[in-house]
Structure 1
Amino acid sequence: MGMIDENNVLTLLNKKIYPGEKAKVNFNTAKLYTTTTVEVPIIIERAIEPGPTVLITAGIHGDELNGIEIVRQLISRGINKPEKGTIICIPVVNVFGFLSMTREFPDGRDLNRVFPGAKKGPLASKFAYVFTEEILPVADYCLDFHTGGSSRFNAAQIRVEKGDEKMLELAKIFNAPFTVYSKTISKTYRKACSKLEKPILLFEGGKSQDSNKEIAKYGVEGTQRILAHLGMLKKEFTVPKTTQESILIEHSLWMRAKYSGLLHIKIPIGKKVEKGEYIATITDPYGSFRHKVTASNTGYIINVNQSPIVYQGDAIFHISKDA
């Protein structure tokens, strides 16, 4: 099991990293059916001064590129070099899915639905087990970066469990445009953190197989604010300031397409709309049908389906609402 001993020596996957050192450790518990080992690089930066250990992850779903870009920027800009404590970055947790630009592991399983895994389970489950046993125990705080699935584009947001005041406070410090109350799904990485009492901020922004500069900026700047709060941000970095506090979303609903056809979005993501406001059009390919989509209620649009074609019943807008 990974640990930091009384002499402040970090042991991770059988490698010792001393205070003031940096290291790259390859996590390679799983192999392809060709017996080829697929390595998952873990980038570790340690300060001489003791402090918290922050674990920063992305790419649990292999096609979610925005999160991967956020962690890449943290490393390339040196933000991951702490003033005190330890920062562990895993830019691409699911390298298998990243190679094929798919959400799942090669065995077809969603890694984020098999935690804490099983020692002798299928590929994804075994990977989750070793991750939970060997890497997660060293973390004091976790930041996990995701995007919307498929064509659904999430406004930049932090998701926290309602009633968790400690995490709500950290979410306010991160200060994404939105903070969304969200129940923790069973067998997710977030649930594994919760069971081990590891504080975790789950960031959602953008959509899969897409890279968005604005979303990456929100993720990087929010991380800097968290590191500054923990006393870990190097003095050469200025703590990014914001002009607006994160908007708390307590309740929300999905608006669904009433007709099949071509979807034309008429509003920007993150906009506050009024009930009955014109927000999209659904048409047929032949120019004979045109349906106006209007907002079901007053609220913020925190997710938009950017697919050019939808079927009746498809989710097209995620909108906040009053209780």
Structure 2
Amino acid sequence: MSDNTIEIAKEIITSGQLRRFELPVSRLSTQTLVSLPVTVVNGVEPGPKLWLSAAIHGDELNGVEIIARILGRVDPKKLRGTIIAVSIVNVFGFIEQSRYLPDRRDLNRSFPGSENGSLASQLANLFMREIVAHSTHGIDLHTAAVHRTNLPQIRANLEDEITYRCAKAFGAPLMIHAKTISGSLRHSATKKGRPVLLYEAGEALRFDPLAIECGVQGILRVMNCLEMYRDELVSNTVESLESRISRWVRASCGGIFHLEVNLGEKVLKRQELGFITNAFGEKRVAVRATVNGIVISYTQNPLVNQGDAIIHLAVV
């Protein structure tokens, strides 16, 4: 076997090869087998092993398309190292167009998982054992939750030198220093010593062309930074704004919310971001920024209740 042969779940991928295979997860009540689809692009030379994952939340689709475009663009014969891509991690949620697994568990709160726990726990354990364990770096792709949209952004531990270097290379409009959340893939992989970038962009159940292109370009830039692959068509690295604090602006009353700002817009403290009225357009209540910052997310559902998080601002 060549120096860059890799074995995952007893599948042997030789150097210069692209292989797609499935890791069995569970059977549905109909006895239909549900598997985790894995694509490995193995370069001709040893190097970093980068995992790409999407649809941990089954309704977050931009990452699925991002990975498809990366796989269609990278030539294994010009690759140094390995790409391990899982474009649909939560296959159950993907089929149902749902964020969650059939038992309503959030897969991204179930890591590192166990062999004998819930379905979410078993799936998380499989991913850690067969994907993370064979990787040296990771990029996990997400969108906003349902009824929200996100500015393309990287969330990562910016205090870690390697992670920070990859985050800067990605070149999203914004990178946020974010602590890991217990039970998340990023938290568990970081504890295993893998630098991880989490990419957030767009909305659930929708393709966002700009968010997809930003993700494709960003991943290719990271691969260039890691000396894995050089794509001559990749645009130059874009300088990212950097944030370490973010704040949600909440509705002070229930009603119909009228948004007056855009994603990526810089705002000043006390600036009016929108307003809330009743169903008849009366009793206008201003929604104001609580900090100087940039708009990184907002609700797309105009019907709000008192206390709802409606606009997310990052301090830059």
TM-score normalized with structure 2 length: 0.95
Corresponding residue for residue 260 of structure 2? 266
User: What is the distance in 2 between the residues matched to 1:7 and 1:321?
Assistant: 47
Residue 162 of structure 1 and its aligned partner are, at CA, apart by: 4.8
Q: In terms of mean alpha carbon deviation, does 5-14 or 201-210 score higher?
A: 5-14
**2:248 counterpart letter in structure 1:** W
Residue 81 of structure 1 and its aligned partner are, at CA, apart by: 7.1
User: What is the distance in 2 between the residues matched to 1:250 and 1:183?
Assistant: 10
Q: In terms of mean alpha carbon deviation, does 192-201 or 67-76 score higher?
A: 67-76
TM-score normalized with structure 1 length: 0.93
Residue 82 of structure 1 and its aligned partner are, at CA, apart by: 5.1
Native 8 Å contact 2:57 2:90 kept in 1: yes
Native 8 Å contact 1:43 1:88 kept in 2: yes
**1:204 counterpart letter in structure 2:** E
Residue 312 of structure 1 and its aligned partner are, at CA, apart by: 0.7
1:237-257 Cα deviation digits (max 9, x unpaired): 323125x51011111211100
Report whether the alignment pairs 1:18 with 2:21.
Answer: no
Residue 148 of structure 1 and its aligned partner are, at CA, apart by: 1.1
Give the structure with the higher percent strand. Answer: 2
Native 8 Å contact 2:23 2:38 kept in 1: yes
Secondary structure at 1:50 match in 2:
strand
Corresponding residue for residue 238 of structure 1? 233
Corresponding residue for residue 111 of structure 2? 115
1:42-92 Cα deviation digits (max 9, x unpaired): 111112222211111100000011121211221233477752111111111
Native 8 Å contact 2:42 2:76 kept in 1: no
For structure 2, list consecutive stretches of 5 or more residues without a partner in the other structure.
Answer: none
User: What is the distance in 1 between the residues matched to 2:222 and 2:75?
Assistant: 12
Corresponding residue for residue 195 of structure 2? 199
Native 8 Å contact 1:45 1:82 kept in 2: no
Q: In terms of mean alpha carbon deviation, does 278-287 or 211-220 score higher?
A: 278-287
CA distance 1:25–1:158, change in 2 (3 Å)? same
User: What is the distance in 1 between the residues matched to 2:4 and 2:221?
Assistant: 25
User: What is the distance in 1 between the residues matched to 2:77 and 2:29?
Assistant: 37
Report whether the alignment pairs 1:157 with 2:149.
Answer: no
Secondary structure at 1:109 match in 2:
coil
User: What is the distance in 2 between the residues matched to 1:82 and 1:281?
Assistant: 53
Native 8 Å contact 2:15 2:44 kept in 1: yes
**1:305 counterpart letter in structure 2:** T
For structure 1, list consecutive stretches of 5 or more residues without a partner in the other structure.
Answer: none
Corresponding residue for residue 44 of structure 1? 40
User: What is the distance in 2 between the residues matched to 1:114 and 1:127?
Assistant: 9
Residue of structure 1 aligned with 2:82, choices 86, 103, 114:
86
Residue 319 of structure 1 and its aligned partner are, at CA, apart by: 1.1
CA distance 1:264–1:79, change in 2 (3 Å)? farther
Residue 93 of structure 1 and its aligned partner are, at CA, apart by: 0.7
Native 8 Å contact 1:265 1:281 kept in 2: yes
**1:18 counterpart letter in structure 2:** T
Secondary structure at 1:33 match in 2:
coil
Q: In terms of mean alpha carbon deviation, does 279-288 or 209-218 score higher?
A: 279-288
Q: How many residues align?
A: 316
Residue of structure 2 aligned with 1:53, choices 44, 49, 54:
49
Native 8 Å contact 1:167 1:199 kept in 2: yes
Native 8 Å contact 1:81 1:234 kept in 2: no
User: What is the distance in 2 between the residues matched to 1:255 and 1:80?
Assistant: 46
Native 8 Å contact 1:45 1:81 kept in 2: no
Residue of structure 2 aligned with 1:166, choices 162, 167, 191:
162
User: What is the distance in 2 between the residues matched to 1:6 and 1:266?
Assistant: 58
Native 8 Å contact 1:61 1:102 kept in 2: yes
Identical positions, percent:
37
**2:192 counterpart letter in structure 1:** L
Corresponding residue for residue 143 of structure 2? 147
User: What is the distance in 2 between the residues matched to 1:15 and 1:83?
Assistant: 20
Secondary structure at 1:52 match in 2:
strand
